[in-house]
Amino acid sequence: MAAAQGGSAVSSSEKVDFLKLQNGSDIRGVAVAGVEGEPVNLTEPATEAIAAAFAAWLLNKKEADGLRRLRISVGHDSRISAHKLQLLKGDCCQNAVTHGITAAGHDILQFGLASTPAMFNSTLTEDERNHLPVDGAIMITASHLPYNRNGLKFFTSDGGLNKADIKDILECASKIYEESAHSKRQEREDASRGVVNSVDYMSIYASDLVQAVRKSAGDKEKPLEGLHIVVDAGNGAGGFFVDKVLKPLGAVTTGSQFLEPDGLFPNHIPNPEDKTAMKAITQAVLDNKADLGIIFDTDVDRSAAVDSSGRELNRNRLIALMAAIVLEEHPGTTVVTDSVTSDGLTVFIENKLGGKHHRFKRGYKNVIDEAIHLNSIGEESHLAMETSGHGALKENHWLDDGAYLMVKLLNKLAAARTLDSSIGSKVLTNLVEGLEEAAVTVEIRLKIDQNHADLKGGSFRDYGEAVLRHLENAIGKDPNLHKAPKNYEGVRVSGHGGWFLLRLSLHDPVLPLNIEAPTKDDAVKLGLAVLAAVSEFTALDVMALNKFVQQ
């Protein structure tokens, strides 16, 4: 791939290992100093080089269409480092991402605080007055990670970039970074020739969500009138949902919380999988006697809900709810999920809803790509969803959009209220009736010590695979345990009325173990079976599992 045109404004003598910044199909790093043992590696010059490399990658793709000058949108979540990485510095209109792009001769549309899915949408919106659509979009976010981290996500109108694209971009960024260390400052300043414009894109994006809900209620202006809905944005970027979506639709939103962006996340981690976060929104629903609660992660690509009785609608339950809605619209369709979904969910989707459950791998991009793949080989799928709250629909360009998921729930509510104006979240709760749920659900993460002698100099991945192979063999000898007939990652086993899955983490030197069982005793039996099989692997830290089986 060609390096960015026109040089870059990058200047740094510090060494950066760019490939270490790859996290699957995202870029993640430490952007703020202050946490011991976590030196900053996503510096401003490194970010600038990555942005320039994205522009070069995109130009390479678009050159066939004769395009020489690109339009790229940039947005960010509420992280404190967003300002270093994206916002204007003083009056010189330069900053890491913007400078990286404009120095390469391309134009920037700055959206400011934005959600990840909105950034993707800006590659599709037809609105020339606002310089839309853009050729590519960059979101500055590290999702729910601690305040010192940050990262980048890239989009074209085809969706999010994949792992191989990110690797190419990082390799190119490394070259740009090296080259720029040798270029003169004046040369770099002269190279700045792209134009920077600011657009209030979140208003444009939100008005599309509003229209969708109105449409499902027969074009009623305020279809949520009389409903009380509280939102918890966890001080991330999701606060817009209150003023720009719920209020125009007529909902009462008092009691909504943590709507103000605050990159130190002082209230709770913005993550719908997090117990404290779910407790916070549940409490807000109960305290305000609200009809519904909605919670987003930092950059709004994930979400969850709470019904008026305080029942959490997240993880398997949210997938079941979305599956019920999607299967009404597309009978018999396949629902693709991640690997840690419950057996109860399969029974629900297949027996109650008449759909097909395709349990695939962990990782939202894996799940989405698998659904796209199934469609391409003739198996119809309209929903791809992870227990983490990432969910994508075919009708929405296979984009994982937490706000769009909630809009699907609002559509259901709005449509039901055209028939019965007193009906609330019961409409939703009724849809998941019959979903069997295990009394005990745990995830225990077993760490692999990468420096341990037992690795014999090999990689943690090889070591983890060896653990999994050994476990698989051991299971074969236990008549109470049965390997899942179809499984795409790790070792998934049924027994003692429940199941477990041991697999390699997508990113970390960790083997996450998920167990679901009807009683603690049964869960312990499953845990003991794993423990017995892995105990000879001395580089594996089984302390947490030991604790679990002894409790």
Ligand X SMILES: O=P(O)(O)OC[C@H]1O[C@H](O)[C@H](O)[C@@H](O)[C@@H]1O
Q: Which is nearer to ligand X, 257 or 388 (CB)?
A: 388
Q: How far is the CB of 23 from ligand X (least distance, A)?
A: 8
Contact segment (CB under 6 A) with ligand X among 242-250, 448-456, 478-486, 507-515 equals 507-515
Q: Which is nearer to ligand X, 181 or 506 (CB)?
A: 506
Q: How far is the CB of 505 from ligand X (least distance, A)?
A: 3
Omega before 133 within 30 of 0, i.e. cis: yes
Q: How far is the CB of 368 from ligand X (least distance, A)?
A: 10
Among 506, 528, 531, 544, binds ligand X (CB under 6 A): 506
Residue nearest to ligand X (CB): 505
Site membership for ligand X, residue 296 (CB under 6 A): no
* Site string (40-79) toward ligand X, x via CB under 6 A: ----------------------------------------
Q: Which is nearer to ligand X, 44 or 369 (CB)?
A: 369
Contact segment (CB under 6 A) with ligand X among 90-98, 168-176, 477-485, 499-507 equals 499-507
Site membership for ligand X, residue 507 (CB under 6 A): yes
Asked if residue 532 lies in contact with residue 431, where contact means CB atoms within 8 angstroms, the answer is no
d(CA 53, CA 51): 5
Q: Can you spell out the DSSP letters for 32-84? A: S--STT----S-HHHHHHHHHHHHHHHHHHHGGGT--S-EEEEEE-S-TTHHH
Of the candidates 172, 191, 11, which has an alpha carbon nearest to the alpha carbon of residue 103? 191
Q: Distances in Å between the alpha carbon of 183 and those of 6, 7, 169, 173, 492? A: 11, 8, 21, 15, 54
Site membership for ligand X, residue 22 (CB under 6 A): no
Asked if residue 505 lies in contact with residue 512, where contact means CB atoms within 8 angstroms, the answer is yes
- Looking only at residues 348 through 377 of this chain, which bind ligand X when binding is defined by CB under 6 A? 362-364
Q: How far is the CB of 337 from ligand X (least distance, A)?
A: 11
Site membership for ligand X, residue 544 (CB under 6 A): no
Residue identified by tokens 């944005």 is 233
d(CA 312, CA 404): 18
Q: How far is the CB of 389 from ligand X (least distance, A)?
A: 9
Across the strands, what pairs with 293?
Answer: 230, 306
What H or E segment, with its residue span, contains residue 30? strand 26-30
d(CA 291, CA 416): 14
Site membership for ligand X, residue 528 (CB under 6 A): no
Q: How far is the CB of 229 from ligand X (least distance, A)?
A: 27
Site membership for ligand X, residue 461 (CB under 6 A): no
Site membership for ligand X, residue 386 (CB under 6 A): yes
Taking the mean position of all CA atoms in its chain, how far away is CA 444? Answer: 21
Residue 437: CA count within 13 A, CB half-sphere = 16
Contact segment (CB under 6 A) with ligand X among 113-121, 260-268, 287-295, 382-390 equals 382-390
Q: How would you label 7-24 residue by residue, b for 16+ Cβ within 10 Å and e otherwise?
A: bbbbbeeeebebeebbbe
Site membership for ligand X, residue 492 (CB under 6 A): no
Site membership for ligand X, residue 117 (CB under 6 A): no
Q: How far is the CB of 240 from ligand X (least distance, A)?
A: 22
d(CA 429, CA 548): 32
Site size for ligand X (CB under 6 A): 11
Q: How far is the CB of 132 from ligand X (least distance, A)?
A: 27
Angle CA(71)–CA(73)–CA(74) in degrees, nearest 5?
140
Site membership for ligand X, residue 512 (CB under 6 A): yes
Q: Distances in Å between the alpha carbon of 323 and those of 340, 398, 466? A: 16, 15, 36
Contact segment (CB under 6 A) with ligand X among 122-130, 352-360, 386-394, 533-541 equals 386-394
The DSSP output letter for 308 is T
Site membership for ligand X, residue 151 (CB under 6 A): no
Site membership for ligand X, residue 508 (CB under 6 A): yes
Site membership for ligand X, residue 505 (CB under 6 A): yes
Q: How far is the CB of 448 from ligand X (least distance, A)?
A: 12
Asked if residue 390 lies in contact with residue 366, where contact means CB atoms within 8 angstroms, the answer is no
d(CA 442, CA 531): 15
Q: How far is the CB of 540 from ligand X (least distance, A)?
A: 15
Q: How far is the CB of 465 from ligand X (least distance, A)?
A: 15
Among 388, 396, 411, 514, binds ligand X (CB under 6 A): 388
Where does this chain bind ligand X (CB under 6 A)?
362-364, 386, 388, 390, 505-508, 512
